[in-house]
């Protein structure tokens, strides 16, 4: 009996060992002994940054997404160009768009002071996203920790991040490729309840949609008129708009009600409801009806996203400086 039990344990260890970076190795209490104030420290730095930058909570939440979708949550997005790294920061979806790197540096510096060499940059991003959503009025979740930082970046994969011009099928495929389903897609898109978006991502919907050279038919006329004022043809493509004009910096379920009114900003937002026969439509409607249902799913999906191929155990390293690998130039 004892031998049989031992064999089961050995088998489990072998299976886990055969799945490097298995998500179940992340734990909520990972830093309880080694850096018990980690959450508080990140929270303090973020609140400080928020005094001068109301958008920062949204920007940091997006950084975690752009990290996790590119070879897993390994802080690859934070690496600067070097002799061994082609930085993801210059990939199309990130260049002049992803932001918040200095605040990550500040959080990491504060953590290094309190507990040197302990908290990984990938976990700083996960904690920052969790704190940002909560401080904006959104749900809390038991953020799983223990990720290690990678030594490589992948600009090609970063160029293939979900695009605002993707149709629903492509969005579903890109989420499925990292193990996320339709509910994750709809719930995580709800992060567009806060933050800003540049005009260049909506001008095709306003002026020359597909081959027709007409507005996107799934865009509400009143909202289009509003956006035409803000984003005139031939105007400044970098001008900023609120992703959710109803509550620009609050985390709530208004995003879904806007989509129901055909007031989703991005094509990729509106597709979730308006693509012909969209299997995601009932999920949009459910989250529009119930903020509680949205919050519960969002929390679960953030944990799912944070579990994408983490490096754990002795894999990777804990970077001292999030911008470079420890022994890099």
Distance CA 16, CA 58 (A): 35
Cα distances (angstroms) measured from residue 264 to each of 189, 224, 255, 312? 11, 10, 7, 38
Residue 86 CB neighbour total at 10 angstroms: 16
**Which string of DSSP letters, residue by residue, matches 58-91?**
HHHHHHHHHHHTTTSSSSGGGPPP-SS---GGGS
Q: Does the active-site annotation cover 64?
A: no
Site for ligand HEM contains 133 (CB under 6 A): no
Contact call for residues 168 and 219 (beta carbons, < 8 A): no
Task: State the number of binding residues for ligand HEM (CB under 6 A).
Answer: 25
**Min separation Cβ 286 and ligand HEM, Å:** 18
59 labelled binding-site residue: no
Considering the complex, state which of residue 48 and residue 170 has its C-beta at the smaller distance from ligand HEM. 170
Considering the complex, state which of residue 35 and residue 199 has its C-beta at the smaller distance from ligand HEM. 199
Site for ligand HEM contains 171 (CB under 6 A): yes
Cα distances (angstroms) measured from residue 173 to each of 106, 179, 185, 250, 320? 36, 10, 10, 29, 35
100 labelled binding-site residue: no
241 pairs with which residues across the strands? 197
**Min separation Cβ 126 and ligand HEM, Å:** 12
The residue among 319, 299, 301 whose CA lies nearest residue 75 is 319
Q: CB under 6 A: which stretch of 110-118, 190-198, 255-263, 273-281 binds ligand HEM?
A: 190-198
Q: CB under 6 A: which stretch of 19-27, 115-123, 151-159, 197-205 binds ligand HEM?
A: 197-205
Q: CB under 6 A: which stretch of 35-43, 149-157, 184-192, 307-315 binds ligand HEM?
A: 184-192
What is the contact surface with ligand HEM in residues (CB under 6 A)? 55, 58-59, 61-62, 65, 97, 99, 162-164, 171, 188-189, 191-192, 194-198, 201, 243, 266, 268
- Residues tagged in the binding site annotation for heme b: 192
Enumerate the active-site residues. 66
Binding residues for substrate: 162
């Amino acid at each position: 009996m004892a031998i049989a039990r031992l064999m089961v344990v050995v088998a489990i260890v072998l299976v886990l060992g055969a799945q490097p970076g298995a998500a179940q190795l992340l734990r909520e209490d990972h830093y309880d002994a080694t850096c018990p104030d980690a959450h508080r420290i990140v929270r303090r730095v973020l609140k400080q940054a928020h005094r001068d930058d109301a958008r920062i909570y949204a920007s940091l939440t997006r950084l975690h997404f752009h990290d996790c979708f590119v070879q897993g949550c390994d802080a690859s997005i934070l690496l600067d160009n070097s002799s061994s790294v082609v930085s993801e920061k210059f990939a199309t979806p990130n260049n002049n768009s992803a932001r918040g790197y200095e605040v990550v540096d500040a959080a990491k510096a504060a953590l290094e002071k309190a507990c040197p060499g302990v908290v990984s940059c990938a976990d700083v991003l996960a904690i920052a996203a969790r704190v940002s959503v909560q401080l904006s009025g959104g749900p809390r979740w038991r953020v799983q920790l223990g990720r290690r930082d990678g030594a490589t970046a992948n600009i090609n994969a970063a160029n293939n991040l979900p695009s605002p011009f993707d149709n629903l099928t492509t969005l579903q495929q890109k989420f499925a490729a990292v193990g996320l389903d339709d509910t994750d897609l709809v719930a995580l898109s709800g992060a567009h309840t806060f933050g800003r978006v540049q005009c260049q991502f909506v001008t095709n919907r306003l002026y020359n949609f597909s081959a027709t050279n007409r507005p996107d038919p799934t865009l509400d006329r009143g909202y289009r008129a509003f956006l035409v004022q803000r984003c005139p043809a031939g105007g400044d493509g970098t001008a900023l708009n609120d992703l959710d004009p109803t509550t620009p910096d609050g985390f709530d379920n208004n995003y879904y009600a806007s989509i129901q009114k055909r007031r989703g900003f991005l094509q990729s937002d509106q597709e979730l409801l308006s693509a012909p026969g969209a299997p995601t439509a009932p999920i949009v409607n459910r989250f529009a009806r119930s903020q509680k249902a949205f919050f519960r799913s969002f929390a679960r999906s953030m944990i799912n996203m944070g579990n994408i191929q983490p490096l754990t155990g002795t894999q990777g390293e804990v970077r001292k400086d999030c911008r470079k690998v420890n022994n890099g130039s």
